[in-house]
Structure formats: C-alpha cells, structure tokens
Amino acid sequence: MSSPACNVDPKTAELWDKGHYQYDVISTRTLGYFMYLLSDGMLFATLFAAYGVLSYQHSYFGGPTPADFVKPWYTFVQTMALFLSVLAYGFGMNALKHKNKSGVISGLLAAFVLGVLFLMLDIHDMTHLASLGISVATSGGMSAFIVLTQVHATHIFFGLIWILVMMAQVMIKGFTTEVVGRLLTLRMFWHLQAIIWVFVYVFVYLWGYMS
Amino acid sequence: MLVDLAGGWNPMLGRLAWSQIPYDNPILAPLFVAVVIGTIIILGLITYYGKWTYLWKEWLTTVDHKKLGVMYIILGLVMLFRGFIDGLMIRTQQAWAVGTHSSGVFGATHGYLTPFHFGQVYSAHGLIMILLAATPLLVGFMNIIVPIQIGARDMAYPYLNALGLWITAAAGALIMISLFVGDFAHNGWFGYAPIFELQYSPGVGVDYWIWTMELVALGTTLGGINILATIIKMRAPGMSWGRLPIFVWASLSANVIALTSFPALQVALGLVAADRYLGAHFFTAGLGGNLMLYTNLFWIWGHPEVYFVILPAFGMMSEIFPTFSEKPLFGYITMVLASLAIAGVSWLVWLHHFFTMGAGPYVNSAFSVATMLVGIPTGVKVFNWAFTMYRGRLTFNAAMLWAIGALFLLLIGGLTGMMLAVPAINYMVHNSVFVVAHFHSMLLVIVYAIFASVIYWFPKVFGFKLDEFWAKTMFWLFSAGTTLVFVPMYMLGFMGMTRRLDYVFNTAWHPYLLVMEFGIVVYMISVLAFFALLYVSIRDHAKNRVGTDAWGTSRSLEWLTHSPVPFYNFAVLPHISTRDEVAWRRDNGIDHVQPDHYEDIHMPNNTGVAIILGGLTFVLGFALVWRIWWLCILSLLAIMALVIYRSFKGDPGYIITAAELEEMEKDAMRREAQIGKQHYRVGGGVLGDAIAYERSDLPPLASQPGSSVGLDHRS
Amino acid sequence: MSHGHDDPTLHPEVQISTSRGYFLGFAISSILMLVATFLVTSHAVPPFGLLMVISACAGIAIMAQIYFLLHIDISEHNIWNTVALVLFIPLFLITIGLTWWMFSQLYLHTMIMPGMPGMMH
C-alpha cells in the first residue's frame, strides 16, 4: 500500500489540528541565528585555510614575519579583555534570568567597555605595524595575517554597535519577546567571537611568534 | 592603504566617467535604447492602469513566501533569458569566426565580437546561469513549496525571506547595469589568478564580477538559513521526519550545502577584493602570493554549489514521477539517505576541478575516489525513479516528459562525469569543450526539472493549468536543441577543441559548429514556444481552472489546500497521519473533510524595509565597483540605520479572526465547487505494483488528467 | 501561532544561564591561554612539542567555552544547535585540513619547500 503508517484508521484519525499548536518564537530565532553563526565560522575556517597556505617561509618573501613583531603578552592582555567582556555579558544574562533590568544594563555596559578596550588594543597594534612599514601589501603572508585578524576585529566592531542598540532597547522596550530573543542571539554572537579569538590567538599570534 | 589607480579617479564620481559608457559599441548602444524604451513602456503601462499601489502593496512589500517565491522565479526566468542570449552570442561567434578567411565586423578581426567583448560574454553567461538563473529559480520553488509541504503558514523568518530576495535582485541589477556602464569581467565566471588582479584587468569588470557574486552569496545564505529553520521548527503536528515529502528532504540537504559553502565563496572573492582594492598579495604571482589558492578557495564553494543546485532538481523529479506513475515513490528511505550522502560527499571532491594543478598522485587519487563515490547515491536515485515508474500507470503529460528528459540527461551527464573523475582522462580533456558539454548536461537536468516543476506546480500557485499543447511543443523543441548543441560539443571535445575560443583555427570543426548554431536557433524557437505557452495559458485560464488536487493523483501536503493557495496557506493546520498524506486521505475518501471550526490566526505585516535595504545594497555594490567612497560610507550607514530602525519598530503582526477566516474559506470552496470539472479516478494513487497489474483489465484511462472518463466526484 | 503571551524571561534558553557556568568557562579558558602564552614566551619546550601543547590548550579552551558559554549539550532545547555544530565541525576540519594537505603536496612536488629532496642539488 501507499505508505508505512497504514495502521492509522481513517475513520478516527485526527485530520486537523485542534488549535493548540504553537511554535516557539525565541528558539526558532536562536536556532536560525546559530546556523548563521556557524556559517560565519566557516568564513573563518576558509580564512584559516588561506592563512595556512600563506604562512610558509616563502610566503613572506624575505620580508617581516609575525615572529618579528608579535608580542605575546600584549596580545594576552587583549585576550583577557575579550574574555572578561564575554564574562560580563554572561553575568548580564544571569541578571536577565531574574528580570533584573539594571543588572542586564550594567552587564552589557561592562561588556561594551571591555570590548572597546580590546578593539583599541587591536588598533594600536595595527598602527604600530604601520609605523614599521608593514601593511597588507608587504607580502602574501602579511596579507593573510592582517586580513584574518582584522576580519575578527570587524566582527567585534559590529558586535559593539549591537550591544549599544540592545542597551537602548532594554531601557526603552523592556523584556519583550523580541528583545529577549535578540539578547540571546547577541549572547551567541559575542561568545562565538571569543571562541574564534582562541584560534586566532593560539594559531596566528602564538604560532606566528614561535616560527 | 588603498591602491593607487593608474587611471582617472576623482573623489566625487570615483572612476565613473563618460568614457566608461559604451555609447559607440554597435551591439550595446541599440540594446540600451531598446531597454530604455521597454522600461518606459512598462512603467507607462503600470501608471496607465493605475497599478502602482497594487504593485507596492501586494508584491514589492510582501512577506508572503509564495509571492516572494514567484518573484524569485520571475527574476530567475529573466536572468535565464539574458544568459541564453549570451549563449546565443557565443555560439554565433564560434560558428562565424572559423579559419583565417572568416570575415569580421564591428571591429573584430573574425566574427562580430572582439576578444575582450567575447570574454565578457562567456563570463557573464556562466555567472548568470548558475548564480542568477538556476539558484533563484530553485530557491523560488523551495520558497513556495517547502512551507506548504510541511504544513506551515509561512517561513520561519518572513522578513528575512523578503530581504534575501531583494539582495539577490540587487545582484541581478548590478550585473545588468554592467552592460551599459563600464564593462564586465573577462576572466571566466569562476576567475583565474592572476588575470583578475588590478595589474592585468585594470577596468571595473572584475569589480562588477566580485560584488555581484558577493551579493548573491549573501542573499542565498539568508535564504538557506530560513528554509532550514522552517523545516526544523515549523512542521505541522504529526509531520515527523519520516513523513516529510521528498522535496523537503532535498531542500534540506541542498540548504545545508548552501549554508556551509557560500562563506567560502565570500572569502575567496573578498580576498580578490583585498588584492584589487588594498594591494594585498593573496593571489599575485609575486611577493609570496599563491595563484592556486584562489582556485582552491573558489571550488571549496564551487563544487558543493553544483550539488546545491542539483539536489532540489532531484527533489522535484521525485515529486513528479510518483504523481504521474500513480505509485508511491520507490525507496523513500534510500532516497533520503542518497540526498544526505550527496550533500556530505560534495564536500570532499572539489579538487577534481583542478586535477592538473599537480598536487601529485596521492591527492589526485583521493579526490578521484571521492568523486566516483558520488555516483553511488546518484545511481540509487536513478534506479529509484525507474522503479517508481515500473508497472505504474504512467501519464505522459508535459510535466512528466520534462522529468523523463531530465532523467536521460542525468544519465549522459553523470556517466561523462564519471569519466572526468579519472585523473588520467581528466588530464586529456581538461579545459576542453568535453567538460563544457558535461556540465551543461548536468545543468540542463536542472533546467528540465525546473520546467517540469513550473508545469507541475503552476496550478497550485495560480489556480489554473498551463496549456498542454504548447508545453509539449516547447519540450520537443528544447530537447531537439539540446541534442543538436551538445552532441557535437562532446565530439569536438574529443577532437581537442578547448573552451572559450573567440576564434576557431581548425576549419575541420566548422560543420560541427554550424550544427550547434542550428541547435541554438532551435532553442530560440523553444523560447518563443514558452512565450506562446504563457500567452495561451493566461488567455484560456478560465477553461483550465483546477480545484485543490489539480492532477487528481498528487500525493504530498501542498495539494490539500486550495488552488490558488490562500495567503495563510491552511485555515486550520492539518494533522499528519502518514507519509503521502493527500494520497492517503483520497484513497480513504476523507480528502474533502473540512475542519469543523476555525480559530484566530496571527500573520506578519508587510514591510517596505526589505526592498529599500535591497536598493541600498545595490547602491553600495555600485559605489564599491566605481570606488565612490563617500557613497559607500553613506549607503553602509543608511543600511545600518535602517536595520536598527526596523529592530526598534518590530512587527506585531495582525490577527485574522475566526469569522473572517471562515468567510474566506467558504468563498474558496464555493469557487472550487463551480469548477465542477474535477474528476477522481478509482483508487488513483494508491495502486502498488501487484494491484496495478491485476487491474490492467480496467478500461484504459485517458492520458490527460482532467479529461472526463465518466467517473464523478466521490464527495 | 504567537508565543507572546508567556513571559519571555522564563524561556528555557534564558533560564539556562548560571553565573557559575560563565565563570568556569572564563576561568578555564583564561588559565589555558595563560599557560600557552607562558610556554611560548619561555621557549621551555621544543617547537613541535610546543605546537602540540598549545593546540591542546586551544582545543580544551574551545570545548570549555562551547559547553559553558554556548550551552551546547544534548538537552531538548539545545539539540538542534548541537546537531548543527556537530555537522559543521567536520567541514571546518575538511576545509582547513584538505587545503593544507593538497598545498603541502603541491609545494613538495614543485620543490618550493626548503629541505625537500629537489632543493638538495
């Protein structure tokens, strides 16, 4: 016969939903956003693949390599700024659980300040490179290094704008379904930046410093 | 930071200058005039009939997945036509410019296209056909059909859906405007390093190519997320994974590929942009760049993309064969597993596009074996379709003919693909027109499946059937064209003709090229037949109206709701008891049972934000191409401001009350009752092999569903 | 269809947050990064071993963050996030791994890599 579920009796089968069917707006939103973030992760994976191919000795064409200018402890401070920002955001989310509006705002504010610190350290690092005469045009290896790290920094930049928007929305609109959903998606975005930073820090900065 | 351009640049207009407008080109200038006149006529007609409000309210600002899908399909068909005209130009040039004695006009030494112009034509042909014709057409069908097939009222994110469409449309507009402002890339649709570097391609063509692809990639990623989330989260009660219609499974597999692979394209082209705009050395010949890295990154996306477009086509065929064989799909589980397997293996084969890179025997054999593995799930599918038709009651209407055509092409394309998977053969035919013929066979599988689906699902979306005569005429003309163009192309490939020749030195190939030219003319006639098909069908639409179950033998859930589908899809969500729910209800005589009461439903509001964002994206792309920095910054800021505005405003949606709903449902049922032409066949759709065999003593059924065989409604 | 009548802060994805979890995720990954940085700057371990050690640090830090921060587990509310992640991780490895493999083979055969047989004479 036509299908595997022939054991359903057509005379008594339920044909139409009784009107109690609801779907979960928040988790639909977070699932879609998580999938977007994974595709963003694929973007970084492809950049890492490019970096892998362009970090051989000949890729630097005799010019400067990361070993010449990476200062591990400086970048470690950057790492801490980002991790603390993520931690602050986490505490803010904990306040959300208790409907604590000022807790959420201060968590977001701390996350924002620490994120700005991260970004300023990064900009300082880049201006230092520029003062050494190093840019994307120096060699293939340096193109890969700078573009990979700066794509991550760009993500941080847009994340910071988003944090500001969410602070305003929490203040103006309170904890509506949409605002809570956005706080959750921003949480994933911000945490994912920390996860990607672990890779950038270890495999680009530390490994670059080693070789 | 930014590179110094050799040519002119000014802060106000960037690289834009009068000299960039090809007003002296004998092909483009008349075309431009024709486009302007055509646009004025269309806009005039809209104004004359006072349709602007209707257009804006019902289409341009809609978030209804069916209307968005229809617009995706219209966009795809328009671009398909443009890409076809490019193909016609390529074929004509190659049939003309053969041998030293061939004449030349319009400034070309041989033929009518200069090498630079010819390069633009084949690059645009490839890019348009894959990214702006096949992709929007398939995304359009997924958009329309998937939510109805799983029993949802809309996509998971209706607004994002509209955004995806308008960003894709912006990409289409960008590539169209490259015809008249500046030029297009001449480096082939997938590009070669280092020819696309600024040093070797100083014009804006490559920039158009980069930003068009980036925009399509963005739009398709957004669409992919939407379809995946819809399938995972929005299924109607009872619609378990084992009951999903096969097209939904195919869409799921395809969009997993889209979601995972498009970022690689964005990176590949983003790095080309870094080279061209910032002077980076990713793909340069010197200073530590790596030419082949580009090819590698591009095909990391490129090969999965091929399966992204073929899988929905397989899904369409899997819906059409059972309907017109009056049997359930043979091997549902294996079909699902095959789709998922193809999606998985698609990620392990990309090096077969550049076996000749010279990565060595280990790498080449690993990728060769992986490529051959693709043949297994594809073979499973082919056999499943064959067994579906075996001993079925076949109806050879136009949709079925297109689907069977797709099956034959899949065999030819698939088997030549297996040949190309062998590195030893690949080295011989690399970059020959044999490869071109192979992938055109595969992409034509998609085109055939799309035309089959246009015919198959047209009545569901618009409420009336397409004209059978013209649909069949178009099919036979199209198939004749396919044979005449691609059989000689396979032969020329074996003779050693390489692809993309603007001048053919070997006069012995001339007869084949003339046959191909004849074939493309036949294609042109089939395009005219398509226009006739649309004209005749719309003229006679009152005669061809259909009810809920347009074909009388359909199986999946989209045939449970009215034709045309109301904007809310289902007044009451269906409760799913089995796979092939509609066939099961029909066989048990409960397909006319309507819900006994209605409840309020919540629908999203229309929004103009999506189309404005699409327009701003177009401006951003244009500004990037011409390096008008102030406009880039301005449009980017406007995009961000608009996104933030929308996020503050939100969409409360609106409620359709139960009473309104009941009224609309009654209207729909009254209309359906008036059609009175719908006939059901005895036992239609449920016959297994054995039963079909026993019943072969029944009088033969008419081959045209919808024509009367004397059996009345069973309701 | 709407879920709006319920209190959104009671949603399980909000309720899953705990200060302890966030702190643990932070502490574990910070300590691992500290160890990695210290090992790299002190040059105490030979390069290949060092690469293995810092890769392990990164791997554990990532797992801690994924578990404590992104709440990826097999509970009912997170199962689809987990499935998506599990499907993606092989693709990340394929993208980076196969690219690295084919280009190292290419460099080997085109004799670009120093110390390869072709470079000897």
Out of B256, B264, B360, name the one closest to residue C105 (CB): B360
Residues whose CB falls within 8 Å of the CB of residue A155, separated by 6 or more in sequence, listed in order = A40, A193, A196
CA of B426, closest CA in chain C: separation in Å? 18
CB contact under 8 A, C2 and B232: no
Q: Is the pLDDT of residue A198 over 70?
A: yes
pLDDT at B225 over 80: yes
Q: How many other C-beta atoms are found inside a 10 Å radius of the C-beta of residue B41?
A: 10
Average pLDDT over residues B410-438: 94
According to DSSP, residue B10 is labeled B
Residue from the list A5, A31, A169 with its beta carbon closest to the beta carbon of B578: A5
Distances (CA, A) of B104 to B97, B109, B403, C6: 8, 5, 42, 74
Comparing C-alpha atoms, which of B4, B211, B62 is closest to residue B607?
B62
Q: How far is A49 from chain C (nearest CA, A)?
A: 5
Q: Is C29 on the interface with A (CB under 8 A)?
A: yes
Partners of C82 on chain B (C-beta within 8 Å) are none
Contact B465/B550 with Cβ under 8 angstroms? yes
Q: Tell me, what's the pLDDT at B285?
A: 86
Whether the pLDDT of residue A123 is over 60: the answer is yes
* CB distance B368 to B423 below 8 Å: yes
State which amino acid sits at residue B260: T
The answer on pLDDT for B616 being more than 80 is yes
* B556, B581 Cβ separation under 8 angstroms: yes
pLDDT at C114: 52
Q: What is the pLDDT of residue B337?
A: 96
* pLDDT tens digits for range B141-183: 999 999 999 999 889 999 999 999 999 999 999 999 999 998 9
Inter-residue contact B193 to B298 (CB < 8 Å): no
Distance from CA of B294 to the nearest CA of C (A): 11
**Measured in whole angstroms, how far is the alpha carbon of residue B35 from the centre of its chain?**
24
Q: Does A76 touch chain B (CB under 8 A)?
A: no
From the list B232, B347, B363, which residue is nearest C94 (CB)? B347
| Mean of the per-residue pLDDT values of chain B | 89
Q: Measured between CA atoms, how close is B358 to chain C, in angstroms? A: 6
CA B277 remoteness from chain centre = 31
- Contacts of B436 by beta carbon, 8 Å cutoff, 6+ apart: B489, B493, B499
Do residue A52 and residue C1 have CB atoms under 8 angstroms apart? no
Q: What is the pLDDT of residue B271?
A: 96
pLDDT at B683: 38
pLDDT at C109: 85
Confidence of residue B339 (pLDDT cuts 50, 70, 90): very high
At residue B432, φ and ψ (nearest 5 deg) are: -90, 170
What are chain A's domains? 24-54+73-210 (1.20.120.80)
Give yes or no for a contact between B655 and B527, defined as CB atoms under 8 angstroms apart: no
pLDDT 10s digits, A138-150 = 999 999 999 999 9
Of A38-47, B462-471, B668-677, the least confident: B668-677
**Polymer length of chain A:** 211
Residue from A17, A179, A202 to probe the interface with C (highest C Cβ count within 10 Å): A202
Q: Residue B260 is nearest to which of C2, C88, C108, comparing CB atoms?
A: C88
Strand partners, B104: B111
Shortest Cα distance from C86 to chain B (angstroms)? Answer: 13
DSSP assignment letter at C18: -
pLDDT above 70 (res B679): no
Q: Which of C1, C88, C105 sits opposite B359 (nearest CB)?
A: C105
A153 neighbors A75 (Cβ within 8 angstroms): no
pLDDT confidence of residue A19 = 65
The candidate with the shortest Cα–Cα distance to B173, out of B622, B608, B607, is: B622
Average pLDDT over residues A8-31: 81
For B26-40, write each residue's pLDDT tens digit: 888 888 889 899 999
Interface touch A206/C9, C-beta < 8 Å: no
State residue B711's pLDDT score: 38
Kindly report, residue by residue over A52-91, the tens digit of the pLDDT: 999 988 889 888 999 999 999 999 999 999 999 999 999 9
Return the number of other C-beta atoms located less than 10 Å from residue A71's C-beta: 13
Query: Which of A112-116, A119-123, B187-191, B444-448 bottoms out in mean pLDDT, i.e. has the lowest?
Result: B187-191
Subunit contact C102:B363, Cβ cutoff 8 A:
yes
Quote the pLDDT of residue C116: 41
pLDDT confidence bin for C113, thresholds 50/70/90: low
pLDDT for the residue numbered C47: 79
Q: Report pLDDT for B565.
A: 92
With a cut of 80, say whether residue B689 has pLDDT above it: no
Q: Coil, strand or helix: which one is B599?
A: coil
Helix residue spans in B178-238 (DSSP H): 205-233
d(C-alpha A135, C-alpha A139), whole Å: 8
The C-alpha atoms of residue A37 and residue A188 are separated, in whole angstroms, by 8
3-class SS of residue B251:
helix
Cα–Cα dist B562/B485, whole Å? 41
pLDDT at B572 over 80: yes
Which residues of C fall within a CB distance of 8 Å from A31? Answer: 80-81, 84
pLDDT tier at C118 (50, 70, 90 boundaries)?
very low
Residues of chain C contacting residue A211, judged by C-beta atoms under 8 Å apart: 47
Q: What is the rounded average pLDDT of the residues B392-408? A: 94
Asked if B601's CB is within 8 angstroms of C1's CB, the reply is yes
Q: Tell me the one-letter amino acid at B206.
A: V
pLDDT digits (tens, 9 = 90+) for B474-532: 999 999 999 999 999 999 999 999 999 999 999 999 999 999 999 999 999 999 999 99
Q: Residue B82 belongs to what H/E stretch?
A: helix B65-96
Residues B203-212 have pLDDT tens digits of 899 999 999 9
CA B520 to chain CA centroid, Å, is 21
DSSP state at residue B699: P
Among B80-84, B277-281, C7-11, name the one with the lowest average pLDDT: C7-11
CB-based burial of residue C64 (10 Å sphere; 0-12 exposed, 13-18 middle, 19+ buried)? buried
Contact C95 B300 (CB under 8 A): yes
Dihedral sign of CA atoms B16, B19, B21, B22 in order: negative
- Structure letter (DSSP) for residue B688: -
What torsion, rounded to 10 degrees, do the Cα atoms B464, B467, B468, B470 define? -160
Query: Which H or E run contains B615?
Result: helix B609-626
Packing angle of the helix pair B246-278, B205-233 (nearest 10 deg): 150
So what's the pLDDT on residue B547? 84
pLDDT confidence of B676, banded at 50, 70, 90?
low
The angle subtended at Cα B180 by Cα B178 and Cα B181, nearest 5°, is 65
State which H helix or E strand residue B307 sits in: helix B291-325
Q: Is the pLDDT of residue C4 over 50?
A: no
Identify the DSSP state of B466: P
Interface residue A17 vs chain B (CB under 8 A) = yes
Give me the residue from A39, A50, A144 closest to B259, CB to CB. A39
A16 - beta bridge partners? B574
Q: Which of these, A183, C116, A6, lies nearest to B588 by C-alpha position?
A: A6
With bands split at pLDDT 50, 70 and 90, how would you rate the model's confidence at B383?
Answer: very high
The count of CB pairs under 8 A between chains A and B is 188
Residue B545, SS3?
Answer: strand
pLDDT tens profile C54-96 = 999 999 999 999 888 888 877 777 788 889 998 899 999 999 9
Express each pLDDT in B586-608 by its tens digit.
888 888 888 888 888 889 999 99
Give how far A140 is from chain C: nearest CA, Å: 15
Residue B194, preceding bond cis, omega within 30 degrees? yes
Cα–Cα distance for residue pair B592/B659, rounded to 1 Å: 21
Look up residue B65 and give its two tokens: 């997945």
Chain B residues whose CB is inside 8 A of the C102 CB are 296, 351, 357, 359, 363
CB-CB under 8 Å, C19 with A45: no
**Cβ burial, residue A112 (10 Å; 0-12/13-18/19+):** buried
Instruction: Name chain C's partners: 3 or more CB pairs within 8 A.
Output: A, B
Instruction: With a cut of 60, say whether residue B690 has pLDDT above it.
Output: no
pLDDT at A8 over 80: no
Confirm whether pTM is higher than 0.80: yes
Spatial distance between the Cα atoms of B38 and B22, rounded to a whole number of angstroms: 19
Q: What is the pLDDT of residues C21-46, one digit of tens each?
A: 999 999 999 999 999 999 999 887 78
DSSP state of A201: I
Does the pLDDT value for residue A194 go beyond 80?
yes
DSSP H or E segment with residue B654: strand B654-656
Q: Which domains does chain B have, with CATH numbers?
A: 51-559+603-607 (1.20.210.10)
Model ipTM value: 0.94
Question: What confidence tens digit (pLDDT) does each residue in B84-98 have?
Answer: 999 999 999 999 999
DSSP class per residue in B129-188: IIIIIIHHHHHHHHHHHHHHHTT-SS-S-HHHHHHHHHHHHHHHHHHHHTTTSS----S-
> Which of C81, C106, C107 is the best mutation test for B, with the most CBs of B within 10 A?
C106
Burial classification of residue A62, based on how many CB atoms lie within 10 Å of its CB (0-12 exposed, 13-18 middle, 19 or more buried): exposed
Whether residue C46 is preceded by a cis peptide bond, meaning omega within 30 degrees of 0, is: no
Share of chain B above pLDDT 90, in %: 74
pLDDT (0 to 100) of residue B19: 82
- Write out chain A residues lying below 8 Å of B290, CB-based: 53-54, 59, 140
B613, B643 in Cβ contact below 8 A? yes
DSSP assigned state of A203? I
Distances (CA, A) of B644 to B130, B384, B640: 33, 50, 6
Which residue is it, tokens 């690689």? B264
Instruction: Tell me the mean pLDDT in the region B620-644.
Output: 95
Distance of CA B54 to the CA centre of its chain: 27
Q: What is the pLDDT of residue B640?
A: 96
Q: In chain A, pLDDT over 90 holds for what percent of residues?
A: 78
Residues 6 or more apart whose Cβ sits within 8 Å of residue A134: A63, A64, A69, A142
Q: Strand (E) positions, B562-619?
A: 601-603
Choose the closest CB to B358 out of C88, C91, C106: C106
Q: At what angle do helices B629-649 and B609-626 cross, to 10 degrees?
A: 160
